[in-house]
Amino acid sequence: MEHTADWELEAWAADLPGLLEQAARGMYALAGVRLKDGPRQTCSITVQGADGESLLVKFLSELLYLGGQKGLAFETFDLHMAGYTLQAELTGAPIATQDKEIKAVTYHRLAIHQEPHGLAVNVVFDV
């Protein structure tokens, strides 16, 4: 869902790690991120949140940071959780092109909902 200063993404998955991965993939798709061909790089991160929503924001914000500071984006996500602590092994490459910069992940209307098929969330990005 597009707006002049914000984009909203709807993501869904069977469980919280899957939801985090789908939200990350959706964020990259919204920004039009394309990776360079060639060797892939692996990056390990740990992110903690007080609940699913804060963990989602922190995870996506970390991905934005790695994109902005190191020029990396990821295509493979190996996510493991203990409570609301996420251990992530990410595989990706330098960003070749990006259509639009996402400045931030917001908490605007952020709520993870249990649905018949699993979990769903709408995430608003500041662009």
**pLDDT 10s digits, 67-110:** 999 999 999 999 999 999 999 999 999 999 999 999 999 999 89
Domain membership flag for residue 1: no
> How many structural domains compose the chain?
1
| 32 and 24 Cβ atoms separated by less than 8 Å | no
**Boundaries of domain holding 22:** 6-126
Hey, is 22 helix, strand or coil? helix
pTM: 0.94
pLDDT band of 60, cuts 50, 70, 90? very high
- We report the CATH number of the domain holding residue 20 as 3.55.10.10
Cα(100)–Cα(87) distance, rounded to whole angstroms? Answer: 28
Average pLDDT over residues 12-19: 98
Interstrand relation of 118-126 and 113-115 (parallel, antiparallel or unpaired):
antiparallel
